[in-house]
């Protein structure tokens, strides 16, 4: 099969539309949110921008065509993610967090569940939010560990025709919604068989919001992504219909891992967007600023070489991430490994590259009035979330390479 990195005409249009929308609309988010004192106030201020993104069809363009959307796969997500994340991480992450919240239904739901749950998100109106309620206070890296480890601590018991869910969640993007009463759709990872090992007793259950029993403890005041909601909250006897179980009872482990495989290349693309924004600003700075010298600092080899290294890194991460997204769409044999590489390499490269670009600019890059410090703060989470590189992603690679049938060449193409 010939190697072809060309986007389809539809994907090229998606990129052009996303780039124009980000420049015209998302570029204004920072000015509106930056001086607001609390995470909830900043998140609320993004709602009109998110509503415009939904109305412009960008959420629908991330939903598969059979479910009322226009997306053809993860490559489409990657194309949109780079353009949005290069301009504003907050609305971008709210949008993609919603897609992650829908992933369990997409991958494990019945046709009836998919039709019911996806309809509000394909309507191109309002501000619908979905959230994947996985992470818990105290960490979830060992969510399937057997006793004496705890694994997932949130519990669900079947009571008549209702699941009753109790527990606590943390770092769930948009999890408590705009009003603190829950996202429009919350896909909750929980223990449904307390006597079983965590590996076989975990399930995913959908909760439609607003829901009684969801209690916001606090909106985390995060280092980066300052206007994106990352709550810590409790589910106190939250009730949801029995037929809201997604996939088989006890099949949550496989469903969680499948969801996070699809998101891993997107984190690599988030890294590209942040590096791209930092590079563009640093390049312009180097061409304009003399720093007291006779010529712009771009004329110095140290500056030029640093910028060249940064651009090489951007191209490498973009290529790897798009390759991983394509492999996922094609269900290629090396898709999981490529996705893990894109997530780990992309996220850690972004932190390094933006730090190097700050060295090019010098001490002024430490000024909040300039963008590089904020871009670095946004990049710092990339190695930590969506399965931390140390606690989850490298372990997945380690386990993959220990398998008897592991083929190092599977990632080179079928």
Instruction: Enumerate the active-site residues.
Output: 386
DSSP assignment of 309-324 = HHHHHHHHHHHHHHHH
Distance CA 14, CA 8 (A): 10
Give the pair of three-digit tokens for residue 45: 């201020």
Q: Residues 370, 376: contact at Cβ < 8 Å?
A: no
Q: Residues 82, 11: contact at Cβ < 8 Å?
A: no
Distance (Å) of CA 399 to CA 311, 402, 404, 405: 32, 5, 10, 12
Q: Residues 69, 324: contact at Cβ < 8 Å?
A: no
Distance (Å) of CA 158 to CA 111, 152, 244, 278, 341: 23, 17, 11, 50, 40
Please write down the long-range contacts of 152-157, taking CB distance under 8 Å and 24 or more positions apart. Answer: 152/189, 152/190, 152/191, 152/198, 152/202, 152/252, 153/191, 154/188, 154/189, 154/190, 154/191, 154/235, 155/190, 155/191, 155/192, 155/194, 156/188, 156/190, 156/191, 156/192, 156/203, 156/205, 157/192
Q: Residues 203, 134: contact at Cβ < 8 Å?
A: no
**Closest to 303 in 3D by CA, of 369, 365, 362:** 362
State the number of CA atoms in the 13 A half-sphere of 174 facing the CB.
32
Q: Residues 54, 242: contact at Cβ < 8 Å?
A: no
State the number of CA atoms in the 13 A half-sphere of 64 facing the CB.
12
Question: What are the DSSP E strand ranges found in 200-305?
Answer: 202-208, 214-219, 231-241, 245-246
Backbone angles phi and psi of 40, in degrees to 5: -65, -40
DSSP assignment of 56-84 = TTTTGGGSBGGGTS-B-SHHHHHHHHHHH
Q: Residues 51, 126: contact at Cβ < 8 Å?
A: yes
Give the pair of three-digit tokens for residue 115: 């039709």
């Amino acid at each position: 099969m010939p190697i072809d990195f060309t986007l389809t005409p539809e994907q090229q249009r998606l990129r052009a539309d996303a780039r124009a929308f980000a420049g015209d609309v998302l570029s204004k988010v920072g000015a509106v949110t930056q001086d607001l004192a609390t995470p909830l106030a900043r998140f609320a201020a993004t709602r009109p921008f998110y509503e415009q993104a939904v109305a412009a069809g960008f959420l629908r363009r991330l939903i598969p065509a059979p479910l009322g959307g226009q997306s053809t796969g993860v490559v489409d997500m990657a194309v949109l993610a780079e353009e949005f994340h290069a301009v504003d991480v907050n609305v971008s992450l709210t949008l993609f967090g919603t897609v992650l919240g829908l992933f369990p239904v997409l991958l494990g739901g019945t046709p009836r569940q998919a039709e019911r749950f996806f309809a509000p998100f394909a309507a191109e109106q309002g501000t619908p939010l979905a959230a994947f309620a996985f992470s818990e206070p105290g960490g979830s890296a060992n969510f399937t560990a057997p006793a004496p480890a705890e694994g997932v601590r949130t519990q669900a018991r079947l009571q008549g025709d209702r699941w009753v869910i109790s527990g606590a969640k943390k770092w769930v993007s948009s999890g408590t919604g705009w009003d603190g009463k829950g996202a429009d759709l919350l896909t909750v990872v929980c223990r449904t068989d307390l006597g079983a090992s965590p590996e076989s007793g975990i399930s995913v259950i959908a909760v439609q919001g607003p829901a009684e029993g969801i209690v916001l403890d606090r909106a985390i005041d995060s280092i980066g992504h300052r206007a994106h909601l990352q709550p810590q909250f409790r589910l106190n006897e939250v009730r949801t219909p029995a037929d809201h179980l997604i996939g088989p009872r006890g099949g949550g482990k496989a469903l969680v891992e499948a969801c996070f495989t699809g998101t891993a290349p997107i984190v690599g693309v988030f890294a590209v967007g942040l590096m791209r924004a930092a590079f563009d600003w640093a390049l312009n700075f180097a061409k304009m600023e003399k720093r007291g010298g006779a010529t712009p600092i771009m004329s110095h080899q140290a500056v030029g070489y640093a910028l060249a290294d940064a651009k090489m890194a951007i191209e490498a991460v973009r290529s790897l991430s798009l390759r991983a997204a394509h492999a996922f769409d094609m269900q290629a044999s090396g898709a999981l490994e490529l996705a893990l590489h894109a997530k780990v390499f992309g996220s850690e490269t972004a932190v390094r590259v933006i730090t190097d670009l700050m060295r090019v600019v010098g001490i002024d890059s430490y000024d909040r009035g300039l963008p590089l410090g904020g871009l670095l703060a946004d990049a710092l989470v990339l190695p930590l979330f969506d399965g931390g590189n140390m606690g989850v992603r490298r372990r997945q690679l380690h386990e993959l390479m220990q398998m008897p049938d592991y083929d190092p060449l599977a990632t080179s193409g079928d």
